[in-house]
Structure 1
Amino acid sequence: MRQGESEAIISAAQTRERCIFDVALDGLTDKGQILDALAQRFDMPRWFGHNWDALYDCLTDLSWLPGKGYVLVLTKVAPDTRAASILTDLLTDCCEYWQDRGVPFHVFAQTTRSADAA
């Protein structure tokens, strides 16, 4: 996702009555910080365990956020980290989970450029 495209994605999701979660990770690279940012934005239930498995469990439940579908827009993601790699795999699995159930669940991500990128 290119910078500035998030508004169009959010507008399209609103038209389709999706639950929208816009999360700016501001280059967070630490697992705990990323989990905290997502937990806050999704208003995770009290039983959320602040680990990758608990994130998957919550994102494949969402019973506290009923909707006609879900759109997660992540901005300022630091792409070259272990946490980003795990998060990508986890969100892919969540998309597949909801797809198998006929529920729209889409993830869009805008990454930050690394300091070494030209």
Structure 2
Amino acid sequence: MFSIPGTPPVTVTPAAQAQIRRLMTGKDAFGLRIGLKKGGCAGMEYTMEMAPAADAADEVIEVGEARVLIAPTAQMFLFGTEIDYESGLLESGFKFRNPNVTESCGCGESIRFEPLEGSRASSV
């Protein structure tokens, strides 16, 4: 993982911890795997799935009874991200506050990152 020793790569708010724990229990899952894929107006989208087990290359973050698994291709893009869960009258869902995002689309569903030094694209 691309991280600073002693610093968690992502933080998880209490609301997100509670929702992840509920999902883990309801689906009898090991944890919530988050990643990135190409798509959307801005070029990239977050992915989430309940995982029955951690893959060998997943970064596993345990916060209380909640477990987040970060897919290897997303690890460097998610460093410093806060994962929250918000409930509202019209929608409820996980929110990612990611300091690495340089642009997002109007609907907030897709994101873009600055190209890495030495690369020609801002994709995974």
Bigger share in strand: 2
Q: Please report the TM-score for the alignment, with normalisation by the length of structure 2.
A: 0.24
- Structure with greater contact order relative to length (CA < 8 Å, sep ≥ 6): 1
Q: Please report the TM-score for the alignment, with normalisation by the length of structure 1.
A: 0.25
